[in-house]
Structures are given as structure tokens and as C-alpha cells.
Amino acid sequence: MKFLNNPDFNFVRWRWHAIVLSLVVILAGFGVIMTRGLQKGVDFEGGTIVILKFDQQPDLAKIRNALAASTVGGDAVVQRYGPAENRDVLIRVRRTGQESGGELSREVDAIVGALRAGSAGSFKMPPEGTEIVGPVVGEQLRRQGLLATVLALSGILLYIAFRFQLSFAVGAIAATLHDLLVCLAFLAFFRYDLTLNVIAGLLTITGYSVNDTIVIFDRVRENLRSQRRDPLSTIVNTAVNQTLSRTIITAGTTLLSVVALYFFGGEVLEGFAFTMLVGIISGTYSTVFIAAAIAIMLQGRKPVKGQMVTAAAPEATRKPGRRRAS
Amino acid sequence: MKNIRWKVFTIVGVFAVFFALGVYPILATRYGLPAPAWLKARQLDLGLDLQGGVHLVLRVHTDEALKTSTTTTAEQLREAARVAGITVSALSVPSPTTFRIEGVPQDRQAEFERLADDNASASYNRTSGPGGSYDFAMRPNIAVQMKQQALTQARETIDRRVNELGVSEPNISEYGDTGDQLMVELPGVSEVARAKEIIRSTAQLQLKIVESGPMSSQEALLQPHNGKLPDDMEVLQGSGQEPGFYLLRRTAGITGQDLRTAQATLDENGRPAVGFSLTRDGSAKFGKLTGDNIGRSLAIVLDNRVQSAPRIDGRINDNGRIYGSFTQEQVRDLVLVLNSGALPASMSYLEERVIGPTLGADSIKSGVLASLAGLALVVVFMLVYYKLSGINAIVAMVANLVILIGLMAYFGFIMTLPGIAGFILTMGMGVDSNVLIFERIKEELAAGSGARAAVAKSFERVFLTLLDTHVTSLIAAAFLFMFGTGPIRGFATTLFIGLLTNLFTSIFVSRTIFEAVLLRQPTAKASLSI
């Protein structure tokens, strides 16, 4: 069985259209983030989450009214948690009790008290779950998340620069950044909270996207020997076509697993699965259209001597094929 | 032929070992199969998000430990001066690491400096000012050392308390980047409020002689002293039903450090109380203290609150009783914290996450369901698209998961919900590796290679690609592990180990199966179902 028989699409020709399309999506994402802001979860902003199991099917409007009438206030987020038959409700406020003294969990008591006072339905005590993150830890998690992303990206950049060429490394990182930005844009469009799990998803996408790009670059490196006389754009286009069925199948099977995760993985992993879903689609797209296009543009400025483009790059001085014994 | 047999033998052996280490104990527990105890003890640990529990981050106020030390040193120096007949006019502790002594008489300054050398110079730098004033500042390296010491001591104390509470497999470790945070993870704890209170209670026990009191206000207490608090005295409030004010001697006769054990007991009226006995040194001090002060009251101070102030009727040596208005529960917890020792400084909570057992069970259910659904979808696809060769990929994938679970169980890594996501992702990477290889084989076959040559060439070519893709993902996973916390670390661990095992299964296992299949066919006509 084969999806594609010797595909020969001219992907490189579409690179400008692709770059414009990506810029539109990313800028739209920026626009939404600028105007509405990226919703940060309690992990990064600090705040209190209470998950309560109600004895009857909960009435969210009543719960909101009860909270609005109390000191908790009307800005609390109230939403269902998990499948309806669990009768779980998640309530989130952006505040915590004071960090000094033992009062951090005071907001939980305030929420429980408000629901009792407003007779918003009876629920099980203690709560099914609580999450209280004070501002100090929130700030710390934010810093660490950013640090992990930046370091991971630089590590990958160095590795690719070492294994391939700098222009390819830049292409791969551009494609990866593209995927991260597209993911952030979609997270903003669909109003997902930025949580630790979403950060894990973003970092996984980093790995996945680079992965995808490397497979093509690897093929380019291999083709550089057999297609000596062709211009770089042709070599790249051939490589993209040669690996196309692999790219599609891998994206497809990974998507299958991630879709399963999205639908069956439960509430906690939904944000993670959504990030992965967007990231895999974006990653496949950027692999085919963005990564190679940028590598070609960067190389293109250097004197072109047939395929001898590489003569200007470190690759040639390292005698191509040295690492490819076969 | 021999070579292949050896390879198959290795694969089956590795598979069997890791199956026994990882998967079998889970099945044995679930279905009541026989398994040796050491194997069950090594079972894959579940994180808090899956089994329920409490995750806490605390800040230890290490400055308090510095302040205590500075105050003690200052008092000791003044006492040494007093013994030598030098009276100073004032002593102050303006910050946790500095103290100031003023009014050392001109003619005694050389002698005072010698005393200061003996008592304070090891840890404090000294500068002298006009009018016989001296400033002492703690050396920076000593301050760093003492903060670390306070943190370590707090960790050890919490560890003892948590063990007393009977929590199995708690995790208490230093946390964050400010050098004063501790993370406490208690799996399966249900009495959260009580656990939190026990962990945080400083439990500083002090026995101090009462000068006067209790009185209803601070002013009344200080009236005989012209409204001014004498240097060597302090005012503390009573707790619970006796909220009066007491004027106490500042120096404690006995502290928690002199305590040998504490146990629950009853007072004369049959109400709950805490009995304690003292160490040998403590007994000697206690005997002298009570002997010298017969007729006065002795305040029992816990965390700067006077619990009770019984009259000293005679000399007491090695044991006593703390009573006040305690409930049975309070006595039980007080005994626990006294026996585990005092905290060097007070603490406050920075983060609290409580995961109820039902939420955890729900997460396990959805995680397993998602994994199985993902696995089933991928298996169907591989069989349809790659026909019999799909079996190769499936065997490699299952072997990968079994080895992964076995390794995680063996090394005691913890399975979290994001860890399950890591599992699913590892499956994805495994399939990707196989797809890369299979597509390459197809290409080679289309280019006219024989089946055997196609397999050999493809594996050699693809190896480099796999190496590059795996190393980059390993870099990402490593950074996630270094900077991640709790659940995220679970994800990074699973991904990291999964990537390593995947290199083994997708290259070695899958290739061996191909070779074994081809070996049964004559070289010239060998073919593959792909």
C-alpha cells in the first residue's frame, strides 16, 4: 500500500505564499494576545483553584451568583471539570491568601463559605482537589519555564549547527519558533490557560518539529552528493518529496495518539493534547514549507556554483560523505 | 545463522527481564498472582497526581535563625563582660546579622576587646566607634552557612514529623532558586489541615521564671518598672483560656533542646496534658532553676505563648508536665512535634496542591484509556499500511513500552499523568522510527535492490537520521527535567528513557526480525511483505 507514488510537487515554489500565510496566523495571534492577553493559569500567575464534587447536578449560574455576592467577587472562573456524571466543578480566582503566616489557603475557605451562604447546592468536603500557588512560586515557575525553553532551543541550535551547517540550523530553529508561535496563537484563539502541562506540550513540540526538519535535512545532505549539478532549491525539493510519505504517515500516526489523548486523556491533559494537536500540524507544515525555504534563502546569498553552494560552508571542508560510510 | 540466534536470544532475554521487573508486579498486585516481596517493593511508583496526596512548598524564614544566633552571641558577650566587672550601657540587635554594644568604659576597652575576641570573633567582624561603642557584623560566609544549616535542620525536622504521622514514602527536598524553600510531598494524606499544621508548627519550648503576672494589660505589668521594660525581661501573652500578660526573665532556663522525650498524660484534674523528661544536662539545669526559685512561678512557653505558669513547690530534677487547656488531639500533636524537635525558624506556605484520591483514580483511568486507544489506532494503521512488516513495528513498540516500564520501576522513577503523555509520545517516536525505516526499504526495493540488500542499506542509512532526531529530543527532555517540577519531571523522565529504549528497539529488534524472516528464504527469491 502506498499513499503517494513518486510524488513530485514543487514545494519550494510556494515558499513565499507559505511565509505570508504563517505571518498572518502569527500576527493574528499576537493581536489577540496584545488585546485580550494570554490566559495564564495559576501555575504562572498565582491564584487559587478549588474542585468541588456536588451532590446534585450543579447549577453554574447559581454558583457564580453566590460567589459574586461574597468577598470572593464576580471575577471568579466557574466551569465544569471532567465528564458531567462526575458533577465536579472547578472554581478559580486570581488571588491567594497571604504568604506570610499560615493563611495561604484562606481563599479556599472563602469560596466554600460563599457557596454555603449563597445555598448554591451541597457538595462533598473536603474538596476533591485544591491548587494554591502564591506569587513567589508563580514567578519562579514562569522564570524556569522560560529558561527551559530558551536553553532547549539553544542546545538544539548548537547540535544542528554541529551536525549540519549553520544555515540549516537557523532554518530548523526558525521552523521551530514558527511552530511555538503558531501554538501560542491558537492557545490564545481558543482561550486555553498557559499551565505547566501546556509548557511541557510546547517543549515537546520543539523536539518534534526539529525532529521532522532533521529528517529532511538529512536527506538533503545525502542528496548533495548524488545531485552535484543541481541548484540547492532542486536538491531540497527532491528531499522534501522523497520523505513526503514518511512525513505524512508519521504526522498521521502521532496525530492518532494525540487525538486519543485529547478525547480520553481527561481534563488535566486537555491543554497539553490541544497544544500537541496544533503543534504537530504546524510542525509538519513548517517542515515542508518553512525550514528548507529559510535554509535556501540563507545559502542563496552566497556565491552559487551549481551545487557547490556548500563550498562556502563548513560542510565541504569536512569532506562530504565522511560520516556517511554507506 | 548463529549470529541471528544469538540476537533473538538477547532480545527475548531483555524482554523477559524487564517484563518481570516492570509489568509483572503490576499484574500480580492487580490479579493476586504470586510474586516475591522484593519485586513487589520495586513496583512502579505513582506520582501525587495519580494516587492523590499533598504537594507543599514552604519558605523557611532563615533570617530568624540568624537573629537567634546573633542575639545569643550578644547576650553571651554582655554576660562575659558583666562577670569581668565591665558594665555596658546598651545592647541592640538592629538586624539579623548585626549587633551593637555601647558604653564600654574607656579604661576597660582593651579587656572588652579581648573578651569579644573570645566570644564573637569566630563569626563576627568587629568595628569600634567613639564613646566605647562596638559594632559586630556576621561574616558573610558564616551567614550563608547558617542559612543552609537552618534549611537542612528544618528539612530533617519535617522528615521526622512526617514519619511520625505515618505517611509512607514522603518526599522532602530543597526547592526553588532562593535557597530558603522546601518542597514536601505526602502521598495519600487525607487529613490535610492537620498535616499542614504539624509540619509548620515551630514547637519552640522554653521554661522561664515569671517575674510578675498574669495581669490584664501590659501597662499594669510594667507599672512597677516605671512603664519601661527592663533589659533582661520580656512580656508574653498567655494562650487559650488564660490570655493574661506575663513579665518573664528573657533567658530561658530550659529549652526544647534539653528535652529527652515527651508523652501524653493527664494533669491532677484528669485533663489531657503533656509529660516530659529531660536529658542529663537538662536535669541538672532544671534542678538548679527550680531549687533557686522555690515559691515563684515557672512559665511554660510554647512558640512564644505562655501555656501555663505553675508555682514551683520544690526542687524538680528530670521530669515535668505541661498543662493548659488542651484537647486530647492537641496533646497528641504536641507530643509529636516536641519529640521531633523544634524548627530553627518559622515557616510559611508558598504553594499548596491537594489532589483527592478520586481525582487521581479518574486520571489513571483516562490516562490508561487514552494510551490503549492510541495504541490500538496505531496498531491497526501499521497492519493495514505495512501488512506483515507492520508486525515488526508492533513488536518493537510493545518491547519498547515493556522495557520502559521495567527501567522506570527498577530505578524508582515516578509515573505521573504527564508521564503517561510521555508514554504516548514515546509510542509516536517509535512508530516514526519504524516508518522512516520502512519507507526507506520501500524506496530501495523500488530502486531495484534485493530484499536483503534493501534491509541492510536502509538500516545503515536511517541510523544516522535516527541518531540526530533522538539526540535533539533528548536535549529538549534534559532541559525539561532540569527545570521542571513534579509532574513535568515525570514527563521528561519518561520521554528521556523512552527515547533511549526506542533507539534499541527500533534499530536492533526490528532489524533482527527482518533478518530472521529473510533467513528462511533463499537469497535470490527473498521478498518482504511491506
Shared domain for B294 and B410, answered yes or no, is no
Interface size between A and B, measured as CB pairs under 8 A? 237
Nearest CA in chain A to B366: A265
User: Would the pLDDT of A326 be above 70?
Assistant: no
pLDDT at B136: 95
Looking only at the bridges linking them, the beta strands covering B45-46 and B414-415 are parallel
Grid cell in block for residue A16: 513565499
HSE (side-chain half, CA atoms, 13 Å) at B330: 13
> In this model, does residue B488 exceed pLDDT 80?
no
Q: What is the pLDDT of residue A196?
A: 79
Quick: pLDDT tens for A7-66: 788 887 888 888 888 899 999 988 988 888 777 888 888 889 999 999 988 888 888 888
Q: What is the CATH number of the domain that holds A73?
A: 3.30.70.3400
* Claim to verify: residue A114 and residue A249 sit in the same structural domain: no
pLDDT at B524 over 70: no
Q: In degrees rounded to 5, what are phi and psi of residue B159? A: -55, -45
Shared domain check, A292 and A200: yes
In terms of pLDDT, which residue wins out, B480 or B11? Answer: B11
Q: Residue B448 CB: number of other CB atoms within 10 A?
A: 8
**DSSP assignment, residue B412?**
T
Which pLDDT does position A304 carry in this prediction?
Answer: 34
Residue B188 inside a domain? The answer is: no
Q: Is A256 on the interface with B (CB under 8 A)?
A: yes
Q: The domain containing residue B309 runs over which residues?
A: 201-351
Is the pLDDT confidence value at A320 over 80? no
Which among A72, A104, A133 is the end of a domain?
Answer: A133
Same-domain check for residues B378 and B301:
no
Same domain as A24, residue A105: no
- Between A186 and B359, residue with greater pLDDT: A186
Listed residues A73, A99, A133: the one ending a domain = A133
Residue B211 and residue B259 in one domain: yes
* pLDDT at residue B492 is higher than 80: yes
Nearest to A249 among B435, B472, B487 (CB): B435
B139 and B221 in a common domain: no
Q: Are residues B119 and B86 in the same domain?
A: yes
pTM attached to this predicted model: 0.78
Both B236 and B333 in a single domain? yes
- Mean pLDDT over residues B502-523, rounded? 87
Residues of B in contact with A163 (CB under 8 A): 468
pLDDT at position A308 is 45
Q: For A306, how many CA atoms within 13 A lie in the half-sphere containing its CB?
A: 8
Evaluate whether A247 touches A212 at the Cβ level (below 8 Å). yes
Tell whether the model's pLDDT for residue B156 goes beyond 50.
yes
Q: Do B122 and B222 have their domain in common?
A: no
Residue B271's identity, in one-letter code, is R
Q: Which residues of A touch B484 (CB under 8 A)?
A: 144, 148, 196, 200
- A195 neighbors A271 (Cβ within 8 angstroms): yes
The answer to whether B119 touches B76, Cβ cutoff 8 Å, is yes
Residues A246, B439: C-beta atoms closer than 8 Å? yes
CA distance A2 to chain B (A): 7
Indicate yes or no: CB of A130 within 8 angstroms of CB of B435. Answer: no
Question: Binning pLDDT at 50, 70 and 90, where does residue B192 land?
Answer: confident
In a domain, B439, yes or no: yes
The whole-number average pLDDT for the span B414-424 is 82
Q: What is the DSSP string of B489-506?
A: HHHHHHHHHHHHHHHIII
Domain boundary among A133, A163, A193: A133
Mean pLDDT value across residues B494-513: 90
Q: In terms of domains, do A113 and A236 share one?
A: no
Instruction: Give the pLDDT score at A313.
Output: 42
Distance, in Å, from the CA atom of A52 to the CA atom of A88, rounded to the nearest integer, reads 6
> Which of B49, B363, B472 lies at the smallest CB-CB distance from A159?
B472
A112 Cβ under 8 Å from any chain B Cβ: no
Is the residue at B427 inside a domain? Answer: yes
Last residue of a domain, one of B295, B320, B351: B351
Task: Quote the CA–CA distance of A134 and A151 in Å, as a whole number.
Answer: 26
Calculate the CA B467 to chain-centre distance.
36
Q: What is the pLDDT of residue A1?
A: 59
User: How far is residue A217's CA from residue B464's CA, in Å, rounded to a whole number?
Assistant: 12
Lowest mean pLDDT among A298-312, B163-177, B381-395, B511-525: A298-312
* Average pLDDT estimate for B432-460: 89
- Would you say residue B180 lies in a domain? no
Residues 16-55 on A with a CB inside 8 Å of B are 51, 53
The rounded distance, in Å, linking the Cα atoms of A146 and A194 is: 12
CATH number for B267: 3.30.1360.200
Q: Where are the alpha helices (DSSP H) in B341-413?
A: 357-386, 389-410
**Cβ count near B255 (within 10 Å):** 16
Average of pLDDT values for B499-524? 86
From residue A8, how far is each of A120, A240, B124, B385, B445 by CA, in Å? 63, 9, 78, 21, 19
Position B307 in a domain: yes
Same-domain pairing of A188 and A288: yes
Rounded mean pLDDT, B314-324: 79
Domain membership flag for residue A84: yes
The b/e string for A15-44 (b: 16+ C-beta within 10 A; e otherwise) is beebbeebeebbeebeebbeeeebebbbbb
Residue B187 to residue B170: CA distance in whole angstroms: 7
Contact A102 B384 (CB under 8 A): no
Mean pLDDT of chain B: 86
Please indicate whether, in this complex, the C-beta atoms of B354 and A250 are within 8 angstroms of each other. Answer: no
Alpha-carbon gap, residue B341 to B323, rounded angstroms: 19
pLDDT band at residue B487 using 50, 70 and 90 as cut-offs: low
The CA distances from residue B160 to A292, B165, B237, B347, B444, in Å, are: 59, 9, 30, 16, 65
Strand partners, B205: B302
- Read off the pLDDT band of B57 (50, 70, 90): very high
* pLDDT given at position A218: 86
- State the smallest CA–CA distance between residue B470 and chain A in angstroms: 8
Measured CA to CA, the distance from residue A133 to residue B340 in angstroms comes to 28
The answer on A306 and A192 residing in a single domain is: yes
Predicted-complex ipTM score: 0.78
B346 plus B388 within the same structural domain: no
For the cut 60, the answer to whether the pLDDT of residue A134 exceeds it is yes
By CB atoms closer than 10 A (0-12, 13-18, 19+), residue B122 is: exposed
Please give the pLDDT value at position B60.
92
Q: What DSSP state is assigned to residue B508?
A: I
Least confident span in A256-265, A302-311, B277-286, B374-383: A302-311
B316 versus B111: which is more confidently predicted?
Answer: B111
Output the domain CATH number for residue B476. Answer: 1.20.1640.10
> Contact at 8 Å (CB) between A50 and A90?
yes
- Burial call A171-180: b when 16+ CB within 10 Å, e when fewer: bbbbbbbbbb
Cell 511554660: give the residue.
B300
C-alpha to C-alpha distance for A15 and B246, rounded to whole angstroms? 83
Regarding whether A245 and A103 lie in a shared domain, the answer is no
Write down the pLDDT at residue A3: 64
Higher pLDDT, B285 or B213: B285
Q: Is residue A142 part of a domain?
A: yes
B330 and B473 within one domain: no
**Total tally of structural domains belonging to chain B:** 3
Q: Specify whether A225 is located in the same domain as A186.
A: yes
Query: Measured between alpha carbons, how far is B193 from B54 in angstroms, rounded to an integer?
Result: 10
B266: pLDDT confidence band, cut at 50, 70 and 90?
Answer: confident
Asked if residue B415 has pLDDT above 90, the reply is no
A298/A241 same-domain check: yes
A149 and A80 fall within a common domain = no
**Tens-place pLDDT, residues B212-253:** 878 888 888 888 888 788 877 888 888 766 678 899 888 778
A244-264 and A232-242 helices, crossing angle to 10°? 50
Please say whether the beta carbons of B459 and B511 come within 8 A. yes
Residues B207 and B327 in one domain: yes
Q: For position A51, what pLDDT does the model report?
A: 92
Contact A127, A50 (CB under 8 A): yes
The answer to whether the beta carbons of residues A33 and A40 sit under 8 Å apart is no
Q: Give the phi and the psi of residue B94 in degrees, each rounded to 5.
A: -70, -25
Nearest CA to CA, how far is A200 from chain B (Å)? 7
Q: Is the peptide bond before B25 cis (omega within 30 degrees of 0)?
A: no
Structural domain contains residue B189: no
Q: B23: buried, middle or exposed (CB in 10 Å: 19+, 13-18, 0-12)?
A: middle
Q: Which of residues 148-207 of A touch B (CB under 8 A)?
A: 148, 151-152, 155-156, 159-160, 163, 196-197, 199-200, 203-204, 206-207
The stretch B494-502 carries a mean pLDDT of 91
Is B406 in the same domain as B483?
yes
Spatial CA neighbour of B319 closest among B267, B285, B288, B278: B278
Q: Which domain holds residue A206?
A: 12-39+137-317
Tell me, what's the pLDDT at A307? Answer: 42
Q: Do both B88 and B35 map to the same domain? A: no
Inter-helix orientation angle A292-300/A166-189, to 10°: 140
Whether residue A183 sits in one domain with residue A209: yes
A311 falls within a domain = yes
- Chain B residues in contact with A208 (beta carbon < 8 A): 473
User: Is the pLDDT reported for residue B373 higher than 70?
Assistant: yes
The length of chain B, given as a count of residues: 530
Boundary (domain end) residue, out of B351, B385, B415: B351
Asked if the structure places residue B167 within a domain, the reply is: no
Is residue B256 within 8 A of residue B268, CB to CB? The reply is: no
* A268 shares a domain with A313: yes
Q: How close A82 gets to chain B, by Cα (Å)?
A: 9
How far is Cα B196 from Cα B79, in angstroms, rounded to an integer? 40
CATH of the domain at A175: 1.20.1640.10
Return the residue of A nearest to B458 by Cα: A326
- A325: confidence class by pLDDT, cuts 50, 70, 90: very low
Dihedral sign for Cα atoms in the order A148, A154, A157, A163: negative
Q: How far is Cα A107 from Cα A49, in angstroms, rounded to an integer?
A: 9
- Residue B221 within any structural domain of the chain: yes
Instruction: Report the alpha-carbon angle B88-B89-B93, nearest 5.
Output: 90
State how far the Cα of B373 lies from the Cα of A112, in Å rounded to an integer: 38
Contact (Cβ atoms closer than 8 angstroms) between residue B495 and residue B503: no
A7 domain residue, yes or no: no
Chain B residues with CB-CB distance to A220 below 8 A: none
Max Cα-Cα span within chain A = 81
In-domain check, residue A325: no
What is the pLDDT, as a whole number, of residue B230? 80
Helix axes B510-519, B389-410, angle to 10 degrees: 140
Q: What's the pLDDT score for residue B256? A: 80
Q: Which residue has the cell 447546592?
A: A121
Q: How many domains is chain A partitioned into structurally?
A: 2
Query: Does any domain span residue A155?
Result: yes
Integer angstrom CA distances of residue B304 from A262, B202, B206, B261: 54, 10, 8, 21
Give bridge partners of residue B355 from the DSSP assignment: A129, B53
- With respect to residue A252, please indicate whether it lies within any of the assigned structural domains: yes
End-of-domain residue from the set B351, B381, B414: B351
Q: Is residue A4 part of a domain?
A: no
Per-residue pLDDT tens over the stretch A169-205: 888 888 888 999 999 999 999 988 888 788 878 878 8
* Window from A72-86, A287-301, B180-194, B279-293 with minimum mean pLDDT: A287-301
Contacts of B320 (CB under 8 A, 6+ apart): B207, B275, B276, B278, B286
A236 Cβ neighbours under 8 A, 6+ residues apart: A12, A216, A220, A292, A295, A296
Tell me phi and psi for residue A273, to 5 degrees: -65, -40
Contact B51, B188 (CB under 8 A): yes
